[in-house]
Amino acid sequence: MENPLLSDQVLPSFSKIKVDHIEPAMCQVIAENEKMLKALIAEEYVILDWDNLITVLDNMEDRLTNIWSTISHLYSVKNSSELRIIYDRCQSMVTEYSTNLSQNKPLYDRIIALATRCEELNLTESQKKVIEDYQLDFRLAGVDLESKQKQQFKQIEKQLNQQSNRFSNNVLDATHAWSKHVTDAKQLRGIPELALETASTTAKQKGLDGHLLTLDFPCYNAVTTYADSEELRREIYTAFVTRASAESEYDDEWNNEAVINEILQLRKEKAAILGYENFAELSLAKKMAGSADKVLVFLNDLIAKGRPVAEKEFEELEEYAGSLGQSELQAWDVAYYSEKLRKKQYDVSSEEIREYFPITRVKQGLFSIVEQLYGVTVKSNGKYDTWHPSVKGYDIYRDDKLIARFFMDLYTRENKRSGAWMAECRSRRELDDGTIALPAAYLVCNFTEGTNKQPSLLTHIEVTTLFHEFGHTLHHLLTIESNLRVSGINGVAWDAVELPSQLMENWCWDKEAIQLISSHYETGQPLPEQMLEKMLAARNFQAGMKIVRQLEFGLFDFSLHVGLDQLEPGYVRETILQARQKTAVYPAPEFNRFENSFSHIFAGGYAAGYYSYFWAEVLSADVFSRFKKKAFLMPRQAENFWEKF
């Protein structure tokens, strides 16, 4: 029977892919690639050029990446115990293959030789960038190490991937293990109707009456922001911030403390074996910032400017809560009283605004904005095979020509990773026959799905999240590069990769754009002018508190990886407490173990790189200032940005 992962179809055939297909497909492609590699380095006397070296490597990389990205995507959105076992085995294979490739000295020598012929061969700037990146990747994989050290490096890489997977699975399992069955509606007073309907549906799916609360973020956020019961807010907050820790009610079953220490020890060893002072310096080898000192100065400067504002905001919140009889604000009270204060100051609530942002209207408006900015057309394509009935496929056209494809998976569900992200499905590249393989992407969020009574309605924060992730999607899909390693998001410095996403967020606050993405889900009426003005006025409500919260994460991450020579029991805990001492304007409870579920840095690509969100935000503010000088939907400015970036 044909293995769907090995077919040459434009997009994956998700309905045909079984777990049993994964390992055979990976084994076959890796074996074929290794055979091609042997042939490539055996041709000692071939005069090297782009086609007989880089194009061959691209062909090898593209086929493996297309299969592995499909498997990795399913691992994130359709996780299962069976898939985990196969995924772990295959990731070890991929790690070993990739490390062997990047430590191959004869291949490295050929890359170096080709680099000396760039001018002779009249290579483009893109091609030169590819060759430069290859050389750096080889060095960061230990190509110059002695044989024994190369083996040590391979083992470190293998173990790092295993521990990162374990961390991610522990967070997923801990999140989905907790629930609270509520049969007394009085306990749920204050929680919005949509959240209650979702909790009721969740209970029915489990054969229960009443409501079932979970730690999926839409439910957690609704309870902590609106539930009148302080006891309920405290209970769900406690469960959320102790996930995957010894402080949770599940003891050590999914405790990530040892996993974190193992990951950090391995990162310390990796940096040392490559000759870097610490892991932060190693991480910065492929980032814009350049040095750890620059990053720390950058973060501390933002803290110095942001904390006084945040302190003033929190004092105002304390005073307001006190006027309502709350003598002392706890961490689980902050969102609740903040929402009440915003309502008082601006006479607008997130739930009132939500009614004007049904997901269908938001998507239509988003596509319309992008069409006006970039001269493209987004069309739904119901023919694409998907991994879940709620997932939708789309095509992007420019001048009536198909240029890209993407999938949208917007709703939270069991066995799906939390958060929001964009991931590569296919990259744009020129094939051997001169045709162009079109790029494709996965856009994933975790919004609340609609019910029988209401469609999916987004808060304005969720609208901003969707725009953010679509910015990443556009970055990957609107590329005009045809060289694999600099196409789309490939080859972009990590601390610049958030620029297009944060740039897109600006249109969520533009009056003209808001009219395109909003209308009441029942009446179809536009967002009232008065409500719009209040929403815009409230844009910077508690902006200081939000900024220092993110700076806490960034400072913790970077300090953690700069100081790994101090790694010993208690180091991680001490580092996050020090970061909070510098940034936090209200104390986190002693039991808070946020670090144990900080997937960005322990199971994602943001280790010693969480500062990138702020770094790229500064860049995106500079870019957006060009739009503000003109009309916000100015195609000429967007075209200029698209061409340059």
pLDDT tens sequence across 36-75: 999 999 877 678 899 999 999 999 999 999 999 999 999 9
Distance CA 14, CA 386 (A): 6
- Summarize pLDDT for 352-372 with one digit per residue, the tens: 899 999 999 999 999 999 999
Q: Give the pLDDT confidence score for residue 1 in this predicted structure.
A: 65
Q: Model confidence at 408, in pLDDT bands (50, 70, 90)?
A: very high
Q: Which residues of 331-361 are buried (b: 16+ CB within 10 A; e: fewer)?
A: bbbbbbbbbbbbeeebebbbbebbbbbbbeb
Local structure of residue 526 (DSSP, 8 states): P
Which of 284, 333, 248, 331 has its CA nearest to residue 597? Answer: 248
Local structure of residue 116 (DSSP, 8 states): T
168: Cα separation from own chain's centroid: 13
Report the percentage of the chain scoring pLDDT > 70: 98
Question: Taking 70 as the threshold, does the pLDDT of residue 632 lie above it?
Answer: no
Q: Decide if 597 contacts 177 (C-beta within 8 A).
A: no
- Summarize pLDDT for 5-16 with one digit per residue, the tens: 999 889 999 999
Question: Taking 70 as the threshold, does the pLDDT of residue 426 lie above it?
Answer: yes
Q: Model confidence at 630, in pLDDT bands (50, 70, 90)?
A: low
Judge whether 469 counts as a catalytic residue. yes
Question: Taking 60 as the threshold, does the pLDDT of residue 373 lie above it?
Answer: yes
How much is the mean pLDDT over the chain?
95
Q: Model confidence at 520, in pLDDT bands (50, 70, 90)?
A: very high
List of domains in the chain: 4-102+104-140 (1.20.1050.40), 179-241 (no CATH), 263-331+341-346+544-610 (1.10.1370.10), 359-537 (1.10.1370.40)
Question: Taking 70 as the threshold, does the pLDDT of residue 290 lie above it?
Answer: yes
Mean of the pLDDT values across residues 285-291? Answer: 93
| DSSP states of 176-187 | HH-EEEE--GGG
- Residue 269 one-letter amino acid: E
Q: Give the pLDDT confidence score for residue 134 in this predicted structure.
A: 97
Mean of the pLDDT values across residues 558-564? Answer: 98
Burial class from Cβ neighbours inside 10 Å (0-12, 13-18, 19+) for residue 448 reads buried
Provide the token pair at 1.
């029977």
- Summarize pLDDT for 119-162 with one digit per residue, the tens: 999 999 999 999 999 999 999 999 999 999 999 999 999 999 99
Mean of the pLDDT values across residues 31-37? Answer: 97
Q: Give the pLDDT confidence score for residue 349 in this predicted structure.
A: 86
Question: Taking 70 as the threshold, does the pLDDT of residue 266 lie above it?
Answer: yes
Q: Which of 281, 469, 552, 617 is catalytic?
A: 469
Range with the poorest average pLDDT among 230-239, 407-416, 445-454: 445-454
Burial class from Cβ neighbours inside 10 Å (0-12, 13-18, 19+) for residue 434 reads exposed
Provide the token pair at 515.
């009219």
Cβ neighbors of 236 (< 8 A, separation 6 or more) are 180, 213, 215, 220, 223, 224, 332
